[in-house]
C-alpha cells in the first residue's frame, strides 16, 4: 500500500498538477499555432506573447542569437502599454555578449532554464543587464524566467526572457517551478518550427537562385529585352501590392498573402525561360531583313554593274542606263525604308511585289531577280520584324517554358508556378496560345502576368524593331484589348492606378501588334 502525501509536499504537488492541467489546452493551442505559422516574425511574436499569457507575467524580451551574441528582437510590457520591435523597427540597444555573467547568455550557453525570484537579490549574475532591460521595458525587474530556444540539433535560436510573474491580485511574484517545464516545452516547439522555417527559406532561396541563374543566362543570350523579365517581375509586384492595398481598404475581394505573392514573383521571374531554345536570329532580329539587307545591297550593286556592262556593249543606251540606275537607287532606298518602318501598307506591299517581278537578263539568258521570295515575305511583314514561321517559333517559347519547368521539382508552396508561367500568353476569349484557354481556366496570377507582360512589351525602350509607347498609350491599348475580351479589364485599371502612384511616365507611341510575343 502506498502512503498518501500530506502537508506542504502534498500541497506543492497538487499546485503543480493544477498548473499543468490548467495550461494544458493552452500548450496544445500554441503547438498547433506554431506548427501552422509560416511567417517568421509572427511566429517569434507568438512565442513572446504566449509565453507571457501562460505564465501570467507583465513583461518579456525575445533575443535572437546572431553573430555570436544575443540581439534584442521584441519586447512587451502590459502594465505600461509598451511594445517594441513588433512593426519591424530595430531596438537600438547593443547586443548581449555571450558571457556567463549575463543571465540570458548563461541560459543560452548552458541550454538551461533560469528561474530567478529576485534579480537584485541574486548574486550570481551581473545586475547591470537588468538595469538596461528596465530602460527598455519601462518596469522595475524583480522575477524572471529565462528559456533558451534550441532546436532538435541543439542549435541555439535565441532566448525568451519572461519578467515579473503576477499573482491573482496583480502583485509581482516568483515564477512557479511548474512553468519551467511548460515554457521549456514552448521554447523547444518554437525553436523546431523556426528551424523548419529556416529550412523552407533556404529551399526557397535555392530555388530563386537557380531560376535567377537561368534568367541571367537568357539575358546574356540576347542584348534585346534583357530587362523584360525584371520589368515583368517589377510590374507584377507593383500590381500585387496594389491589390493587397485595395483588399485592406475593403475595395476588392482578392486576398494576396505573402505566400501567394512569392509564387507570383517566381512565375514572373521565369515566365520566358523557354526563350533559351528560340534561335538567336529570331530572338535578336532587329529589322525585317536583318542581315539579309546586306545581300540586297550586294545584289543591287551587281545589278548596277550588269546594266553598265549592257550599256558599254551597246545593249542599252546611256539614257536608258541612267534611268535604270536612278530607278535602282530609288528602289533600294525604298527597300531600306520598308526594312525598318513601323508599318507596311497595302500599297507598299503591292510595290514590293512589282519590284520582285523585275529582273535582269544576261546575254546567255541567265536571270537575276531584284528580290527573292523570302525577301518579299519579310518586307511585307505588316508590323514587327518576324515572318509567320518565325513568329510561330517565337510563340513556341511558352511551350518550352512549360516543358522546362515540368522537369523541375518545385517546393509545394510553388506548385502553381509552372502553370502560371506557361499560360501568360493565353487570352480570356480563348484566342491566345498555346492551349487556347479561356475565362475561369486562367487564374488571377496568370491574368496579372499577361497584362504586365503586354504592358512592358509596349513601353520597353530596348527593342530595335519598334519604338516605345507612352504609359497612357499602353494602358489604352490594354483597355482596347480588355474591351475585345482578351485581358482582364479590372487588372488593367488597377495597373493604371498603381503606375500613377509610382509616377511612371513614357512619351513615344506605337501599335499593339508591334509587341512581340514576350
Q: Find the farthest-apart pair of alpha carbons in the chain and give their distance in angstroms, rounded.
A: 138
Residue 18 confidence (pLDDT):
47
Mean pLDDT, residues 284-294 taken together: 93
- For 122-175, how does the pLDDT look when each residue is reduced to its tens digit (9 = 90+)? 778 876 666 666 776 778 889 999 999 888 788 898 899 999 999 989 999 999
CB under 8 A, 24+ apart: contacts of 170-173 = 172/58, 172/142, 172/143, 173/143
Residue 85 confidence (pLDDT):
87
Query: Which stretches of 396-466 are DSSP H helices?
Result: 397-406, 417-421, 444-459
Using the predicted structure, report yes or no on whether residue 248 has a pLDDT greater than 70: yes
Residue 413 confidence (pLDDT):
79
In angstroms, the CA 343 to CA 335 distance is: 13
Confidence class of residue 42 from pLDDT cuts 50, 70 and 90? confident
Q: What is the DSSP letter of 5?
A: P
CA distances from 256 to 59, 214, 229, 243, 248 (A): 34, 27, 21, 7, 10
Q: Looking at 15-19, 85-89, 92-96, 138-142, which range is the least confident one?
A: 15-19
Cell of 509: 507611341
The contacts of residue 442 (CB under 8 Å, 6+ apart) are 423, 426, 428, 450
Using the predicted structure, report yes or no on whether residue 500 has a pLDDT greater than 80: yes
Mean pLDDT, residues 275-296 taken together: 91
Using the predicted structure, report yes or no on whether residue 494 has a pLDDT greater than 90: yes
In angstroms, the CA 258 to CA 264 distance is: 10
- Tell me which range, 117-121, 344-348, 506-510, is most confidently predicted by mean pLDDT: 344-348
Using the predicted structure, report yes or no on whether residue 12 has a pLDDT greater than 50: no
Residue 35 confidence (pLDDT):
62
Which has more pLDDT, 412 or 16? 412
Residue 37 confidence (pLDDT):
61
Which has more pLDDT, 175 or 178? 175
Residue 49 confidence (pLDDT):
87
In angstroms, the CA 75 to CA 60 distance is: 6
Task: Return the sign of the alpha-carbon dihedral for residues 121, 124, 130, 132.
Answer: positive
Confidence class of residue 21 from pLDDT cuts 50, 70 and 90? low
Confidence class of residue 16 from pLDDT cuts 50, 70 and 90? very low
CA distances from 54 to 24, 117, 125, 184, 188 (A): 10, 17, 26, 12, 15
Mean pLDDT, residues 353-375 taken together: 93
Using the predicted structure, report yes or no on whether residue 10 has a pLDDT greater than 60: no
**DSSP assignment of 130-147:** HHHHHHHHSS----EEEE
**Three-class SS state of 263:** helix
- For 302-337, how does the pLDDT look when each residue is reduced to its tens digit (9 = 90+)? 999 999 999 999 999 999 999 999 999 999 999 999
Confidence class of residue 14 from pLDDT cuts 50, 70 and 90? very low
The contacts of residue 246 (CB under 8 Å, 6+ apart) are 252, 254, 494
Using the predicted structure, report yes or no on whether residue 364 has a pLDDT greater than 90: no
Q: Looking at 1-5, 30-34, 222-226, 280-284, which range is the least confident one?
A: 1-5
Using the predicted structure, report yes or no on whether residue 223 has a pLDDT greater than 80: no
Using the predicted structure, report yes or no on whether residue 98 has a pLDDT greater than 90: yes
**Burial of residue 510 (number of CB atoms within 10 Å: 0-12, 13-18, 19+):** buried
Mean pLDDT, residues 349-364 taken together: 93
Confidence class of residue 59 from pLDDT cuts 50, 70 and 90? very high
Mean pLDDT, residues 86-113 taken together: 90
Mean pLDDT, residues 291-296 taken together: 96
Using the predicted structure, report yes or no on whether residue 50 has a pLDDT greater than 50: yes
In angstroms, the CA 249 to CA 254 distance is: 12
Using the predicted structure, report yes or no on whether residue 447 has a pLDDT greater than 80: yes
Confidence class of residue 517 from pLDDT cuts 50, 70 and 90? low
- Tell me which range, 205-219, 221-235, 334-348, is most confidently predicted by mean pLDDT: 334-348
Amino acid at each position: 500500500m502506498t502512503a498518501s502525501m500530506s502537508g506542504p509536499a502534498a500541497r506543492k504537488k497538487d499546485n503543480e498538477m493544477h498548473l499543468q492541467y490548467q495550461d494544458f489546452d493552452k500548450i496544445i493551442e500554441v503547438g498547433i499555432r506554431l506548427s501552422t505559422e509560416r511567417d517568421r516574425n509572427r511566429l517569434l511574436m507568438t512565442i513572446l506573447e504566449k509565453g507571457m499569457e501562460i505564465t501570467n507575467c507583465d513583461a518579456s524580451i525575445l533575443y535572437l542569437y546572431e553573430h555570436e551574441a544575443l540581439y534584442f528582437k521584441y519586447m512587451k510590457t502590459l502594465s505600461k502599454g509598451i511594445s517594441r520591435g513588433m512593426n519591424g523597427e530595430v531596438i537600438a540597444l547593443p547586443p548581449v555578449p555571450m558571457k556567463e555573467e549575463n543571465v540570458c547568455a548563461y541560459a543560452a550557453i548552458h541550454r538551461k532554464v533560469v528561474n530567478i525570484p529576485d534579480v537584485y537579490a541574486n548574486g550570481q549574475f551581473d545586475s547591470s543587464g537588468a538595469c538596461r532591460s528596465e530602460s527598455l521595458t519601462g518596469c522595475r525587474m524583480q522575477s524572471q524566467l529565462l528559456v533558451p530556444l534550441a532546436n532538435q540539433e541543439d542549435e541555439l535560436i535565441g532566448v525568451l526572457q519572461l519578467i515579473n510573474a503576477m499573482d491573482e491580485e496583480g502583485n509581482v511574484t516568483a515564477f512557479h517551478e511548474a512553468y519551467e517545464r511548460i515554457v521549456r516545452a514552448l521554447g523547444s516547439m518554437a525553436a523546431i518550427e523556426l528551424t523548419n522555417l529556416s529550412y523552407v527559406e533556404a529551399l526557397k532561396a535555392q530555388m530563386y537562385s537557380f531560376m535567377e541563374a537561368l534568367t541571367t543566362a537568357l539575358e546574356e543570350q540576347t542584348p534585346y529585352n534583357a530587362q523584360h523579365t525584371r520589368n515583368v517581375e517589377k510590374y507584377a509586384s507593383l500590381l500585387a501590392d496594389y491589390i493587397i492595398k485595395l483588399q485592406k481598404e475593403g475595395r476588392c475581394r482578392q486576398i494576396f498573402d505573402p505566400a501567394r505573392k512569392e509564387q507570383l514573383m517566381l512565375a514572373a521571374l521565369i515566365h520566358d525561360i523557354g526563350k533559351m531554345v528560340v534561335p538567336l536570329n529570331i530572338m535578336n532580329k532587329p529589322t525585317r531583313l536583318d542581315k539579309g539587307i546586306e545581300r540586297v545591297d550586294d545584289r543591287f550593286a551587281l545589278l548596277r554593274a550588269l546594266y553598265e556592262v549592257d550599256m558599254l556593249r551597246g545593249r542599252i543606251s546611256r539614257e536608258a542606263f541612267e534611268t535604270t540606275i536612278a530607278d535602282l537607287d530609288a528602289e533600294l532606298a525604298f527597300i531600306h525604308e520598308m526594312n525598318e518602318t513601323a508599318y507596311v501598307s497595302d500599297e507598299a506591299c503591292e510595290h514590293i511585289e512589282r519590284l520582285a517581278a523585275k529582273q535582269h537578263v544576261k546575254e546567255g539568258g541567265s536571270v537575276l531577280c531584284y528580290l527573292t521570295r523570302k525577301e518579299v515575305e519579310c518586307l511585307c511583314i505588316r508590323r514587327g520584324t518576324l515572318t509567320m514561321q518565325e513568329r510561330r517559333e517565337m510563340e513556341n517559347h511558352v511551350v518550352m517554358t512549360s516543358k522546362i519547368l515540368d522537369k523541375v521539382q518545385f517546393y509545394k508552396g510553388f506548385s502553381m508556378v509552372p502553370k502560371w508561367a506557361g499560360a501568360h500568353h493565353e487570352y480570356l476569349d480563348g484566342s491566345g496560345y498555346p492551349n487556347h484557354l479561356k475565362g475561369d481556366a486562367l487564374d488571377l496570377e496568370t491574368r496579372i502576368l499577361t497584362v504586365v507582360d503586354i504592358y512592358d512589351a509596349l513601353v520597353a525602350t530596348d527593342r530595335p524593331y519598334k519604338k516605345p509607347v507612352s504609359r497612357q498609350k499602353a494602358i489604352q491599348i490594354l483597355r482596347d484589348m480588355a474591351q475585345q475580351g482578351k485581358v482582364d479589364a479590372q487588372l488593367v485599371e488597377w495597373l493604371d492606378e498603381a503606375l500613377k502612384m509610382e509616377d511612371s511616365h513614357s512619351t513615344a507611341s506605337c501599335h499593339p501588334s508591334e509587341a512581340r510575343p514576350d
